[in-house]
């Protein structure tokens, strides 16, 4: 039998080198993965900042437009609280083009959609930012359903017999430059003094006002959450 003299110390040293090499490889992989994740996070943050800046501007513009509609309807509602006159009839005729429309907000959601469906939302290291993004997403889903209901309701209001009888729905479809001529025609064909005394028409206007009020509330809730997201994005960028 041949006895082999094994240098266990040397073998242990070789094994240690292999183990250290494996650990270094794992460490390097982790470092590269961390660097890659950090680069992805920064890219997402830049895109989120652009998207939500656009969302805030869009929603503020939409809210401003809806408020103008609401103010016009509110003024019309007030006209029904006073005795009908030629003056109030002329005011009502002038308000019609502004009243018979409604706004709709469509957000920019591409970046958040990518984060959500790819699972990359976990790359966002700021907990508050993640929470506000998820909160906005939940609010937007609810708002979509509410705005769809309000849109359907508004179309239903505009297609009621009282609206068709006075040809009101057509006002929202014409060129604004032609509204003056159309109103002149309406004044010749429609007695707006009688219209002010028509309870069906006052209910029609009141329902439009209610729908506008609900849209404004919905937009305001969304806008507040968008502002929170933008504030967190600014804080993350500064930090």
* 1 pLDDT tier (thresholds 50, 70, 90): very low
Residue 128 burial (CB count, 10 A)? 14
User: What's the angle, vertex CA 120, arms to CA 218 and CA 35, rounded to 5?
Assistant: 135
Residue 55 burial (CB count, 10 A)? 24
78 has pLDDT over 80: yes
Helix spans in the chain (H): 8-79, 86-99, 110-118, 127-158, 161-165, 179-189, 192-196, 199-238
For the stretch 8-37, pLDDT in tens is 555 555 556 665 555 555 554 554 454 455
Phi-psi region of 119 (alpha: psi -120 to 50; beta: other; left: phi over 0): left
For the stretch 108-119, pLDDT in tens is 988 888 888 888
Most confident range, picked from 84-88, 90-94, 119-123, 217-221: 217-221
51 has pLDDT over 90: yes
Looking at residue 149, what DSSP letter applies?
A: H
Two tokens at 176? 């604004």
Most confident range, picked from 15-29, 149-163, 172-186: 149-163
Two tokens at 157? 């209001």
85 has pLDDT over 50: yes
């Amino acid at each position: 039998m041949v006895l082999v003299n094994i240098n266990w110390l040397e073998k242990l040293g070789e094994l240690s080198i292999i183990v250290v090499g494996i650990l270094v490889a794992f460490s390097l992989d982790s470092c590269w993965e961390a660097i890659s994740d950090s680069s992805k996070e920064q890219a997402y943050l830049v895109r989120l900042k652009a998207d939500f800046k656009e969302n805030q501007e869009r929603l503020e513009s939409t809210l401003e437009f809806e408020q103008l509609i609401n103010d016009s309807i509110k003024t019309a509602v007030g006209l029904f609280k006073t005795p009908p006159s030629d003056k109030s009839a002329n005011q009502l005729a002038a308000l019609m083009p502004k009243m018979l429309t409604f706004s709709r907000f469509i957000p920019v959601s591409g970046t958040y959609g990518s984060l959500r469906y790819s699972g990359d939302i976990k790359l966002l290291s700021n907990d508050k930012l993640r929470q506000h993004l998820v909160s906005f997403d939940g609010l937007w889903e609810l708002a979509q359903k509410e705005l769809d209901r309000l849109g359907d309701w508004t179309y239903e209001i505009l297609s009621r017999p009282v609206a068709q009888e006075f040809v009101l729905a057509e006002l929202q479809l014409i060129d604004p430059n032609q509204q003056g001529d159309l109103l002149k025609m309406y004044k010749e064909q429609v007695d707006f003094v009688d219209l002010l005394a028509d309870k069906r028409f006052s209910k029609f206007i009141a329902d439009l006002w209610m729908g506008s009020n609900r849209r404004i509330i919905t937009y305001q809730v969304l806008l507040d959450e968008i502002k929170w997201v933008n504030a967190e994005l600014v804080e993350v960028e500064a930090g």
